[in-house]
Amino acid sequence: MVNKLEKKTLESWLENVKEYACEGKVADYIPALAEQNPEHLAVAIYPLKGECIYAGHSEKCFTLQSISKVISLALALIDNGEDFVFGRVGMEPSGDPFHSIYRLEQHTPSKPLNPMINAGALVVSNMIYGVNAHERVGRLLSFIHEMTDDHSIQVNENVADSEFNSAFLNRSLLYYLKQHDVIKGDVEETLDVYTKQCSVDVNVCQLARIGAVFANEGRDIHSNRQIIPRHYARICKTFMVTCGMYDASGSFAIKVGIPAKSGVSGGVMASLNQFGGIAVYGPALDEKGNSVVGLKLLEILSNRYDLSIF
């Protein structure tokens, strides 16, 4: 049924949900993100078999932000293995906002609860192999190029600089983690890697294709080549279910029921096994930092085609 989904259906859904944009607010704590237009909305579906269908401002690029945490986790697992990664970052949902700091003090030795909150994601960025930030970011970009088969994808340096210059909270998290020996090396270099991974620019079709690789058990959807080991792809999708929407992950699981990850630029990437990847973009966010229109659209899609995994 869902295979018959057409562009005009996606367009009519976008038209129906666009009124919800006024219920949210574009992120402005990273100054460059405040320039986004809340009326720019887009959706793409990349099925495991077939072509990407899309609607809305599908050519518009937006930065991955926290969606990058799923990709960096996959790369850190490939680089270091499961035991090493989860020796430093936990596997439990936090139920806290993404930038929360206070739980770091509640565990001895200090260990961020999971890789989707900022504290955990910063530790993961610190684990990506490379002699310096340039090489680490380069490896992450190559990994994204491999998943999308698109070498044009790059870091949006304007957004990266804007975040790097205003990331006082993330700096605090990093210095705390450094003090407690959870991260190695230079704090500013790790922040550089993290802000650049968050600033990778994609459009909805490129993002949906990344989602499709996770949905395809880590294999490229056209060549079927294994890019991410199956077990690691599963770990990533499990975190998308338990922590992908932060302290809104429970209600999202009930209303939508598809593994998904949001970012403060307004993007959401969803991965549904045996189906494919879905990406939505709508920069107006709710109070938890998730795209208002994105969540609404995913809810409609899930209910219409009975896509919940539960």
69 in catalytic set: yes
Asked whether position 65 contacts ligand DON by CB under 6 A, the answer is yes
Q: Residues 232, 133, 96, 251: what is their CA dihedral angle, to the nearest 10 degrees?
A: -50
46 in catalytic set: no
Q: Binding string, 195-234, against ligand DON, x = CB under 6 A?
A: ---x------------------------------------
280 in catalytic set: no
Of the pair 65, 100, the CB lying nearest ligand DON is at 65
Smallest distance from ligand DON to CB 74, Å: 17
264 in catalytic set: yes
CA distance linking residue 228 with residue 241, whole number of Å: 18
Tokens of 286: 């709710």
Number of residues that bind ligand DON (CB under 6 A): 12
Asked whether position 266 contacts ligand DON by CB under 6 A, the answer is no
Asked whether position 66 contacts ligand DON by CB under 6 A, the answer is yes
Cα atoms found within 13 Å of the Cα of residue 61, Cβ hemisphere only:
11
Tokens of 229: 């080991």
Among the listed residues 46, 98, 232, 281, the single contact to ligand DON using CB under 6 A: 98
Asked whether position 192 contacts ligand DON by CB under 6 A, the answer is no
Which of 203, 172, 216 minimizes the C-alpha distance to 60?
A: 203
Which of 295, 309, 284 minimizes the C-alpha distance to 38?
A: 284
Choose the binding region for ligand DON from 2-10, 144-152, 175-183, 256-264 (rule: CB under 6 A): 256-264
100 phi and psi angles, rounded to 5 deg: -60, 145
Asked whether position 191 contacts ligand DON by CB under 6 A, the answer is no
Choose the binding region for ligand DON from 3-11, 215-223, 257-265, 294-302 (rule: CB under 6 A): 257-265
Tokens of 155: 């870091």
Q: What is the largest CA-CA distance in the chain?
A: 54
Asked whether position 115 contacts ligand DON by CB under 6 A, the answer is no
Residues in the chain: 310
**Do 265 and 62 meet the contact criterion of CB atoms below 8 Å apart?**
yes
DSSP 197: H
Among the listed residues 56, 120, 211, 289, the single contact to ligand DON using CB under 6 A: 289
**Do 202 and 48 meet the contact criterion of CB atoms below 8 Å apart?**
no
Choose the binding region for ligand DON from 4-12, 41-49, 171-179, 260-268 (rule: CB under 6 A): 260-268
Candidates 17, 20, 58, 69; catalytic one: 69
CA angle centred on 87, ends 86 and 92, rounded to 5°: 45
Candidates 26, 200, 213, 264; catalytic one: 264
Cα atoms found within 13 Å of the Cα of residue 139, Cβ hemisphere only:
19
Asked whether position 242 contacts ligand DON by CB under 6 A, the answer is no
List residues binding ligand DON (CB under 6 A).
Answer: 65-66, 98-99, 118, 163, 170, 198, 262-264, 289
* Active site (catalytic) residues: 66, 69, 194, 246, 264
